Structure 1
Amino acid sequence: MAQFDADDQENAARLLGALTLVSHSAFERAVTSLILSEAARFCGPVALYATRELGDDLSYYEAMANPNDAMAPLDAVGRGADLGSEARIAAIIRNLCKGDPEKLLNHPSLEMLRATKAKAIIVVDDIVGSGKRTAGFIRAMWRSESVMSWHSRHQIKFVALAYTATRMGKGLVSGLKCKPKVALVRECPTFGEIPWHGDIEAAITALCNRYGRRTSRRGMRFGFKKTMAALVFEHGCPNNAPSILWAPVGEDSDWQPMFPDRTVLFEEASAFPPDITARDPVAMLTELAGDAEPELPPAILGESVLGLTTTMVLALVASGIRSRAALSYATGYDALECASLLDRCVARGYLTATLRLTSEGRAELKEEIRPAERSKWVPQRGEDSYYPQQLRGPP
């Protein structure tokens, strides 16, 4: 934190505090559950592959096939590669396939796909950021004439499965010729979609731009392809996040990132919670107000029959926040849970189908409470700010 000028430390603390931290256990539970859920949709075997970086114009099945055994499974990860997320995902796939080898195929060859009459190809990644890696991997599979033929006859389908994806990455992958379904645990929060005031967003962007120029990855100061991802896994920080968080120390830069060369060190790992939880609604609405006095709905400050999470969603929608990624970020809910909550709000008449507040929803937010309760919740302005020096977990 000391690397930032005094005037910038408040926004640097905001940037760190806004990160969604995904622990090993949360990641593995969620990805395992999603794989099983997607596999269950198909009546027959499905093929599982860990997404990996491949060279342009490479035909995956031809290049990876074992010349001595056409039925042998393909290598899950590249030989001699710096193994990161793909090794962790390969381990998840291996364990699942051991439990149900007839249904789940571990990196099968083209001939194994043919012999088992697999119904789906599911490629698995931790994050679809820009979409480049996942799209390139699927294109390499698509270069097989057999795969194209099976797909054209509706004998096999593609699924791009990931813990999270940005809007940009999801759009790129879903637009491929094979029209894969993109299956996610949660939408990826980006610093451009976090529910805070426009002035704060501009200040965070300026911070990443100014200090990103001091790192060894100046061209990625907003993350790869300017994604500005605001999510970090315990197994590593994506390069889609701003470079001030992860850029390695170089010959021309001595910038010390929180996650050096995208690695989460032991001290920082202790800050990763076992589960992703909701944000403080009062703090979020205060950030949305910027320098103005926040208009906090009475239902936020006291007990609400709807529950705090539903009330927070209605309050955010009332403030103009309708992005599902932003609402998922605020509630801590995954994509399925967030969609279910929004569907209930629509069904009960609190929100329209386009996620706008109805008169019924507005009435719920105006539910009165005792004035004395208000002082307990509204943060005082003008106090000295506290700037954390590093991420800390619960005691």
Structure 2
Amino acid sequence: MPLPDDVALRLPNTVNGKAWLSQFKNEDLELATRLLGALTLVSHSAFERALSRLLQDEAAKIEGPVALYATRETEPSDDYFQIHANAKDPFAPLDAAPRGADLGSEVRIGNMIRNLVKEQPGKFLNHPSLETLRKERAKAIFLVDDFIGSGKRTSEFITSMWHSPSVMSWHSRHQIRFFAIAYSGTRSGIEKLRRLKCAPRIRVHRDCPTFDDMPWRPETHEAVVALCQYYGGRTSRPRTRLGFGDTMAALIFEHGCPNNAPAILWAPLSRKHVWQPLFPDRAVRNEQASAFPPDILARDPVTLLADLVDEPEEVTAAVSGAPPLGMATTAVLALVASGIRSRAALGYATGYDRRACTDLIDGCIARGYLTPTLRITAKGRAELRAAPDPGRRKLWVPPIGEDTYYPRQLRRPP
């Protein structure tokens, strides 16, 4: 199945993309190209705009100051506030990231936090010390990250804060709450955070697409996993062939590739291993950055469904036209009818963020088209059967690109 034009012209056709694909055997080339086409690429602008909006929306629900911290690597046995406090000035802000570290999202999120504090100095606090939290009577602690993968980094960071007796006391008296806020996160990572003693509230802008959630036929999914397993053994990180924690994340940021993605995409170079990663040591090169769209593009539901079912005519007919329900709603019904039960997969298929996808799914449930467990109802199947025949619609509207456009859909159908 050919990839959509908007994908085919990007990563697979960059210089580095072609070099990466050249390492695969001829019989694996199409599958490797499909793997690239399934990635969700998040640009700098899309990342910062969405995460800033999420932080402001959540902070608006809280009466009082909100402390912002960029999530960073730390030892869970450390007392974060005690170790990083300034002995000369107990009210000095803490460092957003460790000095001399190999920094990625921490720097970008740290800059975002500084901008938010400048916009709303009375609402947001920039990496406040323990004394500043006490003085300003902060009502919430926001741990900000780009991606919650396995949940290890965020949980260890929260645990290091939890060592402070003051923080524990404020939390037990319901004077302060913890929030883990990220652009995206996996189900397993989010569940890990929910088990912490401080019971943080988790907010993400978009569910993380993983290769496990892709709306593919089982044999396609098995082939992609086998591909990552086989070629991942040639990388410098064979133990994370499917990504850290076997997450198989399919989300790539312009500021870096998460290590939860398959190792063939990011494993660093070494003398013993000849594999050339697409994102060496998780870095996105300038030439590849051109492949990142300013916003997440909507997926083509017809293309997705054609890959999902053996005989897609009945299902794709429901999404090839423009029924009263709308393309997005009908695409969701068609995907669920084809066996998709994951909200993350539905979000990937539509290209919508978590809020928009949730509204779409909840609307289908409210109308009686889907059950709360995401199974299509008899009413939903009736809507799919009532969708117009795509073959007849092609007779009414001329193809895109004609020099003259005459609205034949206003004429009586032939």
**TM-score, length basis structure 1:** 0.92
Shift of residue 373, structure 1, vs aligned partner: 4.2
- 1:22 is matched with 42
Partner residue in 1 for 2:277? 257
Task: Give the total of aligned pairs.
Answer: 374
Query: For 1:275 and 1:248, how far apart are their aligned partners in 2?
Result: 28
Q: Which amino acid aligns with 1:245?
A: L
Local SS of the residue matching 2:52 = helix
Task: Determine the structure 2 residue equivalent to 1:213.
Answer: 233
1:359 Cα shift?
1.7
What amino acid is aligned across from residue 355 of structure 1 in structure 2? L
Structure 1: distance between partners of 2:192 and 2:118: 33
Question: What secondary structure does 2:202 align onto?
Answer: strand
Name the amino acid aligned to 2:27.
Answer: D
Q: Which moved more, 1:250-259 or 1:236-245?
A: 250-259
Partner of 1:137: 157
Residue matched to 2:358: 339
Output the aligned Cα RMSD. 1.3
User: Compared with structure 1, are the counterparts of its residues 149 and 286 closer, same or farther at alpha carbon in structure 2 (3 Å cutoff)?
Assistant: same
Question: Kindly tell me: are residues 34 and 149 of structure 1, through their superposed partners in 2, closer, same or farther at Cα, counting changes over 3 Å?
Answer: same
Q: Which residue of 2 aligns with 1:82?
A: 102
Aligned to 1:246: 266
Output the amino acid matched with 2:338. S
Task: Give, in whole Å, the separation in 1 of the partners of 2:121 and 2:389.
Answer: 61
One-letter code of the match for 1:2? S
1:203 aligns with 2:223: yes
Give the Å deviation of 1:136.
0.4
Structure 2 SS opposite 1:71: coil
* Mapped contact 1:121–1:157 kept (Cα < 8 A): yes
Shift of 1:370: 4.3
Matches within 5 A, 1:358-377: 358-370=377-389, 372-373=391-392
Q: 1:187 aligns with which of 194, 207, 232?
A: 207
Identity of aligned residues (%): 60
The one-letter code matched in structure 1 to 2:371 is T
Is 1:49–1:123's contact at 8 Å kept on the other side of the alignment? yes
Q: Which moved more, 1:351-360 or 1:89-98?
A: 351-360
Q: Give 3-state SS (helix, strand or coil) of 1:249's partner.
A: coil
**1:296, distance to aligned residue in structure 2 (A):** 3.6
Matching of residues 77-156 of structure 1 within 5 Å: 77-156=97-176
Paired residues for 1:4-23 under 5 Å:
4-23=24-43
Q: CA deviation at 1:278?
A: 1.9
Distance 1:41 1:206, change over 3 A: same
Contact 1:24 1:233 in 2 (8 A): yes
Where do 4+ consecutive residues of structure 1 move more than 6 Å?
Answer: none
Q: Retained in 1: the 8 A contact 2:79–2:160?
A: yes
Question: Deviation at 1:369?
Answer: 3.2
Unaligned runs of 5+ in 2: 1-20, 396-414
The 2-side partners of 1:324 and 1:65 are apart by 42
SS at match of 2:83: helix
The one-letter code of the counterpart of 2:304 is M
Tell me, in whole angstroms, the C-alpha distance in 1 between the residues paired with 2:172 and 2:252: 38
Structure-2 separation of matches of 1:246 and 1:143: 34
Counterpart residue number, 1:225? 245
Question: For 1:233 and 1:17, how far apart are their aligned partners in 2?
Answer: 15
The answer to whether the 8 Å contact 2:320/2:390 transfers is no
- 2:296 is aligned to 276
Given that 2:323 and 2:388 are in contact with CA atoms closer than 8 Å, whether structure 1 keeps it comes out as no
CA distance 1:371–1:144, shift in 2 (3 Å): closer
Structure 2: which amino acid aligns with 1:268?
Answer: Q
